[in-house]
Amino acid sequence: MMAATRPLRLAIVTGEESGDLLGADLVQTLRRKYPGEVTLTGLGGEHLAVLGLKSLFDQHEIALMGISAIVTKLPQLIRRIAQLASAIIEAKPDCLVIIDSPDFTHRVARKVRAADPSIPIINYISPSVWAWRPERAKAMRGYIDHVLAILPFEVQALKDLDGPSATYVGHRLVTYAPLMAAAAQNLARETELANTSERSLVVLPGSRRSEITSLAKAFGETVELLIDRGNRLRITLPTLPKVENLVRELTAGWKVKPNIVVGEAERLKAFAAADAALAASGTVSLELALARIPTVLSYRPDWLARLIIAPRIKIWSAALPNIIADEPVVPEYFNQFVRPGPLARQIEQLLRPSIYRTAQLQGFDKIANLMQTERPSGEIAADVVLAHLR
């Protein structure tokens, strides 16, 4: 390790809110462990900004979803990749950590490696090479020194695909206190379910504009059908400030108006009171599983993704809970099958005591056990970074 009096110069690149949270956790842990100052350069969001990162540009510029969105913004992305890589090379960091958003962060990493092979590069969150385009795993060895995996099966998957070495650091959600508190409340309330007639349904149409636009109408119709079939429901729709106006616009025509809440605290409050959830497939599916909320998942990728990506998918499920458990814990509906009839009937099975609800909750317990680590994920990740310092 370098002398304690010398600052640790860390370059960090994140592409989305979730990556910004992981990056902030890593930096905070490094500052506790490293005996000297830890300085930052690169790209992040508001959480890393609080820790002193002055991003080269706004992270939201590259937080894109869907191939068609990427194609539309391609010239801008290419320019930003080159700009960011040049700034990192000039800063001469002791380590570069790229977090998620592989279409952007890996291109930055390749440019940095080509210009200065002496800079160690750590990839926090492996690309889904186990799901599609597995050839990426071997290619990563040319510019990634180590992977910090957040899913328990990824270390072996990367090894099987001849990818870089990896360490399972765990997932921040497993030790996220507010989420664990929601799980405890839901567990305690489970025995009361048979004695109450009104149910609480959380509706989560996604965090990106394309997701929300593609699912809002079908989700609204599903809620209406549930009410028409005699279910007494409280509908809560948590969302983010950046898409709040879009959500309000697209739900204005719903015959059953949801209670729209904004921000992390309100979202977790809704989770703690939820009996079931209707959600867009994504990271939120894992949050719902760890919070012990029986869930039905849906997704409609954009037309270009269906044309190009769908035929290359290698994994049997798109739901993280199912992949981790290696069994179908959560039902999934895609494309033309995102329809009110089947969605409403699936949710009805989960809103009351039933073998379907019990099976999901048992699956969630299995997932939580598989994801446990002996130490917090930030600590394990920080130790790996310190071991790779230039």
pTM over 0.75: yes
Question: Per the structure block, which two tokens stand in for 154?
Answer: 């990824």
Neighbours of 353 (CB within 10 A): 12
Pick the CATH number of 175-371 from 3.60.15.10, 3.50.50.60, 3.40.50.2000, 3.30.470.10: 3.40.50.2000
Q: Give the pLDDT score at 259.
A: 97
Q: Give the pLDDT score at 63.
A: 63
Q: Give the pLDDT score at 1.
A: 47
Average pLDDT for 280-301: 93
Instruction: Name residue 190's amino acid.
Output: E
Average pLDDT for 170-183: 90
Q: Sorting pLDDT into bands at 50, 70 and 90, what band is 65?
A: very low
Give CA–CA dist 201/179, Å, rounded. 17
Question: Per the structure block, which two tokens stand in for 100?
Answer: 């998620």
- Cα–Cα distance list, 127 to 101, 133, 139, 149 (Å): 8, 10, 12, 9
The larger pLDDT score, comparing residue 317 to residue 155, is at 155
Question: Looking at 2-16, 62-76, 199-213, which range is the least confident one?
Answer: 62-76
- b (16+ CB within 10 A) / e for 63-86: bbbbbbbbeeeeeebeebbeebbe
Give CA–CA dist 31/22, Å, rounded. 14
Percent of the chain at pLDDT > 90 equals 75
What lies within 8 Å, CB to CB, of 18 at 6+ separation is: 100, 283
Average pLDDT for 364-373: 96
Residue written as token pair 């039933």:
354
User: Do the two domains 8-170+373-387 and 175-371 of this chain adopt the same fold?
Assistant: yes
Does the pLDDT value for residue 161 go beyond 60?
Answer: yes
Q: What is the residue extent of each domain of the chain?
A: 8-170+373-387, 175-371
Question: Looking at 70-84, 188-202, 295-309, 353-367, which range is the least confident one?
Answer: 295-309
Question: Per the structure block, which two tokens stand in for 369?
Answer: 């056990």
CATH fold, domain 8-170+373-387, is: Rossmann fold (3.40.50)
The overall average pLDDT reported for the chain is 91
Question: Looking at 137-141, 307-311, 323-327, 383-387, which range is the least confident one?
Answer: 307-311
Q: Which of 51-65, 172-186, 189-203, 284-298 has the highest mean pLDDT?
A: 284-298
Q: Sorting pLDDT into bands at 50, 70 and 90, what band is 97?
A: very high
Q: Give the pLDDT score at 68.
A: 52
List residues bridging with 43 in a β-sheet.
Answer: 13
Q: Give the pLDDT score at 316.
A: 77
Q: Give the pLDDT score at 370.
A: 95
Phi and psi angles of residue 306, each rounded to the nearest 5 degrees, phi first: -65, -35
Contact yes or no for 296/347 (Cβ under 8 A)? yes
- b (16+ CB within 10 A) / e for 299-336: bbbbeebeeebeeeeeeebbbbbbbbbeeebbbbbeee
